[in-house]
Amino acid sequence: MVVVALMAAFTVKAAPTLSSYPTATATLYIDFDGHDVNSSMWNYGTAFSCLPAAMTDAQITEAFNRVAEDFRPFNINVTTDLAKFLAAPFAQRIRVVVTPTSAWYAGVAGIAYVTSFTWGDDTPAFVFSDRLGNDARKVAEAISHESGHTLGLYHQSDWSSSCTLVSGYNSGTGNGEIAWGPIMGSVANRNITQWNFGATPNGCSILQDNLKVITANNGFGYRPDDHADLYTSASIINLAYGVFTKPGVISTAADQDYFRLDLSDNGKLKLTANPYSVGANNSGANLDIKLVLQDRKGTILGSYDYSDSLHAKIDTTLNAGTYYLIIDGTGNVNSQNDYGSLGAYTIEGNFTANTATTASTGTGNATGSGSTNTSTAIMTGTKTNKGNRLVFNGIKTGEAITLMYATEEGQWVDLAKPSAAQSNYLHQTTDNKTYTYQLRIVEKGGYVKFSNQVKIMGNTPNSHFKIIKQAQQPLIIYASAPYDYQIFDNAGRIISTGKANAGSKTFDVRNHPTGIYNIKLMNADELKIEKFMNK
């Protein structure tokens, strides 16, 4: 067993009963409440009691939020709730005790056993809040650092260009908002701290892939993607009220979140994409954001990435039409790349049309009544591997359409507001429920009418892709339709991307290191990701 001590000072922030991702099974429990330790691994096996952290609720909340953001990309729940910890499997949980009871282990700000997360015996890790001045920021960095050890990580070190060890703890670089440092270093004075792919104390060429170690060895991986990285499955930004807000998470270096904006008029678009943070100057953020604006043909209209800030803004005038907004993690002069630029964000903005439009207040129903009638618009639908695709025609210029579906209780729920020129919409759903859809159409004069109803049964469609696995490379894919592909390693780094036609195609990565790789296959109706081994 390896014990790793944290020699530098760090900070934490915490809160009463909090959970970052309650649906996750794997659990990181931050214990601010004191704990009776009875473990053969600590204090020479002699039981002892730890006092509660002398931190206010505000300090605890801040520390918790900082740690939660460090672990945001993963399918793990960071919590201060003892019940959540006790409900988690023994080999998928760790307790980090935050305490001023530090005399039993001198000279460090925190201590943990490497890989103890999976031991299954509840051996805790410790952060000594008294040695960190109960500073929420320092305590939080220490919690994430010690938790990293329990997940199998060693320190990230600083080496000179001539391969001379400068420090066993990489202290990061830079100043201000984009000052950067690795979580497994000593980085409490850096504004943005991230998981890193870098050198360890064992040698300047002995590199540690933090993300791979965390996700491959502890029984959990990355959290499910919340927004697709395809135009055809882009999340809709509803502009019905002019003002909009959209949250999201960038969970891997390969993850890009696509959003679609349908502008019925010329006008002014202003928006800001802010990373999750706990204070001024994006303090506590892990994500450095890059924004890309494209038209419906994929032409890039603007790329927005501030060199001295983690957020990004758009302020531009656009003509009526369909546009795509892409959120991506990016690097800066200090971090060098986007490896660890992961985390939560929020898009906030508004669109101001140059001409006034009349909003419809009609609610509509399945049969049409009052001032409504049945439209000549025809809708059809099919089930695909990415959800239910609705195709509609007969929509006239100037008509506003709303796609609805019926709940089990018979209530109609607005799903999306496609543009009349769009002619189709993909309802992303992975369940096997049967859905009934209908279009509500508002004419220029405000007259409301409805399309025919479409019912899509909850059966599972056949895949467009057939994966032919072989004991050795290369990998062969058979597809029944044209598609896009990406190949990326287990750290999320893209090594190949392109387009392919229907039929068989060979993919060969034997010129890359051995290990686990992923191939992502995408077309208008299906997104499939498959792992394969490069031996």
Do the Cβ atoms of 116 and 162 come closer than 8 Å?
no
For residues 448 and 475, state if they share a domain.
no
The Cα–Cα gap between 125 and 147 comes to 7
Domain boundary residue among 420, 438, 456? 456
Q: Give me the mean pLDDT over the 28-54 stretch.
A: 93
- Predicted pLDDT at 430: 67
For residues 158 and 41, state if they share a domain.
yes
For residues 89 and 106, state if they share a domain.
yes
Q: Which range has the top average pLDDT, 12-26, 329-343, 459-473? A: 329-343
The rounded radius of gyration (Å) of the Cα atoms in the chain is: 26
Q: How confident is the model at residue 443 (pLDDT cuts 50, 70, 90)?
A: confident
Query: By mean pLDDT, which of 53-62, 105-114, 295-304, 419-428 is the weakest?
Result: 419-428
Q: Which of 74, 55, 50, 54 is nearest to 15 (CA)?
A: 55
Q: How confident is the model at residue 90 (pLDDT cuts 50, 70, 90)?
A: very high
Which range of residues forms the domain containing residue 379? 372-456
Q: How confident is the model at residue 408 (pLDDT cuts 50, 70, 90)?
A: low
The Cα–Cα gap between 316 and 110 comes to 49
Residue 524 has which token pair? 């208008």
**Residue 361 belongs to a domain:** no
**Residue 360 belongs to a domain:** no
**Residue 408 belongs to a domain:** yes
| CATH number (domain holding residue 42) | 3.40.390
pLDDT cut 90: percent of the chain above it: 55
Q: Give how far the C-alpha of residue 216 lies from the chain's centroid of Cα atoms, to the nearest Å.
A: 18
The Cα–Cα gap between 188 and 195 comes to 14
**Residue 362 belongs to a domain:** no
For residues 64 and 10, state if they share a domain.
yes
Task: Tell me the torsion sign for CA atoms 360, 417, 272, 12.
Answer: positive
**Residue 256 belongs to a domain:** yes
**Residue 196 belongs to a domain:** yes
CA–CA distances in Å: residue 187 to residues 53, 98, 160, 173, 396? 22, 19, 18, 9, 59
For residues 201 and 264, state if they share a domain.
no
For residues 31 and 109, state if they share a domain.
yes
The Cα–Cα gap between 258 and 227 comes to 7
For residues 316 and 435, state if they share a domain.
no
Domain boundary residue among 323, 353, 383? 353
Domain boundary residue among 421, 456, 491? 456
For residues 382 and 472, state if they share a domain.
no
Is the pTM above the cut of 0.75?
A: no
Q: Which of 54, 62, 48 is nearest to 12 (CA)?
A: 62
pLDDT digits (tens, 9 = 90+) for 218-229: 999 999 999 999
Q: What is the signed CA dihedral for 169, 175, 176, 179, rounded to 10 degrees?
A: -40
**At 440, which helix (H) or strand (E)?**
strand 435-442
Q: Give me the mean pLDDT over the 401-430 stretch.
A: 79
Q: Give how far the C-alpha of residue 400 lies from the chain's centroid of Cα atoms, to the nearest Å.
A: 33
- Predicted pLDDT at 445: 66
Q: Which of 327, 329, 326, 332 is nearest to 309 (CA)?
A: 332
**Residue 75 belongs to a domain:** yes
For residues 377 and 292, state if they share a domain.
no
pLDDT digits (tens, 9 = 90+) for 464-490: 788 766 555 788 888 888 999 988 876
pLDDT averaged over every residue in the chain? 86
The Cα–Cα gap between 314 and 236 comes to 18
Phi, psi dihedral angles at 288 (to 5 degrees): -100, 120
Q: Which of 299, 274, 291 is nearest to 326 (CA)?
A: 291
- Predicted pLDDT at 409: 60
Flag whether pLDDT at 455 surpasses 60.
Answer: yes
- Predicted pLDDT at 145: 96
Do the Cβ atoms of 18 and 63 come closer than 8 Å?
no
For residues 180 and 294, state if they share a domain.
no
- Predicted pLDDT at 386: 73
Burial class (CB in 10 A: 0-12, 13-18, 19+), 370: exposed
Residue 134 has which token pair? 């109960």
**Residue 244 belongs to a domain:** yes
| CATH number (domain holding residue 418) | 2.60.40.10
Q: How many domains does the chain have?
A: 4
| CATH number (domain holding residue 469) | 2.60.40.3080
Residue 145 has which token pair? 């650092």
Flag whether pLDDT at 34 surpasses 50.
Answer: yes
For residues 35 and 72, state if they share a domain.
yes
Q: Where are the beta strands (DSSP E) in 157-278?
A: 158-159, 165-167, 180-182, 192-194, 197-200, 203-209, 235-236, 243-250, 256-263, 267-275
| CATH number (domain holding residue 299) | 2.60.120.380
For residues 173 and 117, state if they share a domain.
yes
